Amino acid sequence: MEETQREATWQEEEEQAEVAIWKYAFGFTEMAVVKCAIELGIADAIESHGNPMALSKLSSALACAPSPLYRIMRFLMHRGIFKEELTTAHGSPGYAQTALSRRLMRHGERSMAALILLESSPVMLAPWHSLSARVLANETSPFDATHGEDVWSYAAENPAHSQLINEAMACDARLAVPAMIHDCPEVFDGLGSLVDVGGGNGTTLQTLVKAFPWLRGINFDLPHVVSVATESIGVEHVGGDMFLSVPKADVVFLKSVLHDWGDKECIQILKKCREAIPEDKGKVIIVEAVIEEAETDKLTDVRLALDMIMMAHTNTGKERTFKEWGFVLGKAGFCRYTVKPIRAVQSVIEAFP
């Protein structure tokens, strides 16, 4: 009886493996086709049309041949990115938007287009071919090995890539920051000033200042980043180096910054943040992924994928567990901290001196 059960289990696993292995052989096609859809502007064209679009109308709007477009749309519809609905004109089949396809539009509060375009760019894809070398040598990051310098030096010398990074980070901010505002607005009670360290183009601060008008915001990033940031009411842009000093404020805010660095650098950054806040009422707010090794949820795969991205694109960066966050915060001189999950990939960590 047990032998029969083992045989059945083995057979079931073999059948699952026969299907699953193709995902790893051809998994890159999903990224490539989604990137193609963004570059063609498919979601934007359907949105602008206002109704489901027949293939002929869509191909005309995009100035492309119907046949390859049909094959692209067949692929995307099979994955539920677009759907088929009848057109209003003749009742013939047409392509319609979904909640997922709207995230492929170039603009919009929930657009993820810039983040996808960044991660699928040749600059960011090339280092993945050296991931095994990084694991074996545990030295130079694949990005450094591929491009001869780290990702920040490369961005400083290549304005177009720097802009793509800033736009991608803004994408993520438009998702994570509203979730934080909705789920734990109390973390901003009683604050007068806030400095966003590594704030990019200021999207995060603009969102926070709009939600909490009493805040005076300082967007702090490298000089070449803030030099092209858009001016906005309630936000001051300041250039500098977070390893040397951080502008003083009631609270220091760091989103998706510390995961770029190893423990040594994190502790150094956090110490500079601690110096910037008042000893009595100051705090540091960190918005980062927290990997729960004993539990999983619907975004666990995303957090683990982010950890692989850190391995490919940074020298020492990583996503941290609850215990690992406690270690770097303690070494930086913070006596207590809290972790609050939000409806996003990240959690909100409050650290107190």
The yes-or-no answer on residue 319 being catalytic is: yes
Tokens coding 290: 């927290």
Q: Look at residue 341 and give its three-state secondary structure.
A: strand
Out of 167, 288, 313, 350, pick the active-site residue: 288
- Identify any residues that bridge with 347 across adjacent strands, giving them in sequence order: 288, 341
β pairing state of 347-352 and 283-288: antiparallel
The yes-or-no answer on residue 236 being catalytic is: no
DSSP helix, strand, coil percent of the chain (3-state; round to 5): 55, 15, 30
Query: What residue type is assigned to position 169 of the chain?
Result: M
Tokens coding 36: 């193609």
The residue assigned the tokens 């071919």 is 129
Listed as own residue / partner, the contacts of 289-295 with beta carbons closer than 8 Å and 24 or more positions apart are 289/259, 289/319, 289/320, 289/345, 289/346, 289/347, 290/320, 290/321, 290/322, 290/325, 290/339, 290/341, 290/346, 290/347, 290/349, 291/319, 291/320, 291/321, 292/321, 292/322, 293/321
Contact (CB, 8 A) for 59 and 53: no
**Terminal alpha carbon distance of the chain:** 63
Contact (CB, 8 A) for 270 and 163: no
Out of 167, 265, 319, 350, pick the active-site residue: 319
Tokens coding 218: 């300082």
Out of 167, 237, 259, 313, pick the active-site residue: 259
The yes-or-no answer on residue 3 being catalytic is: no
Contact (CB, 8 A) for 215 and 188: yes
- Identify any residues that bridge with 285 across adjacent strands, giving them in sequence order: 253, 350
Residues with catalytic roles = 259, 288, 319
